[in-house]
Amino acid sequence: SEERDVDAALAGWASAHPTEALAMLDDLPEDLQGQRDRLARRGVEGLSDRDVTGATDLVIRLASEGVRKAGDLMGMVADDTILDWRV
């Protein structure tokens, strides 16, 4: 589906080029505004693959902006950290 394609693209983009991906997340086109929380999750997912500190900072920022699932996002970052540590 188109939604799944956008999710995958944003996660990959956040992993490869986090600054640009996060800038887009901060300035979403009007037609994507209602999907911000879902897209933020994908941004955290991609960023945590590359930069755990950056992903943690993003989750804290999202929590301060009222993203309801910020705790789940932090858990995702923690899981990635533990998996990286065990490898």
Give the relative orientation of helices 52-64 and 70-86 as an angle to the nearest 10 degrees. Answer: 170
* pLDDT number for residue 85: 66
Give the whole-angstrom CA distance, residue 31 versus residue 57: 26
pLDDT below 70 — which residues of the chain? 1, 84-87
Give the whole-angstrom CA distance, residue 18 versus residue 28: 15
Give the whole-angstrom CA distance, residue 84 versus residue 37: 25
* pLDDT number for residue 32: 87
- pTM, rounded to two decimals: 0.85
Other Cβ atoms closer than 10 A to 86: 6
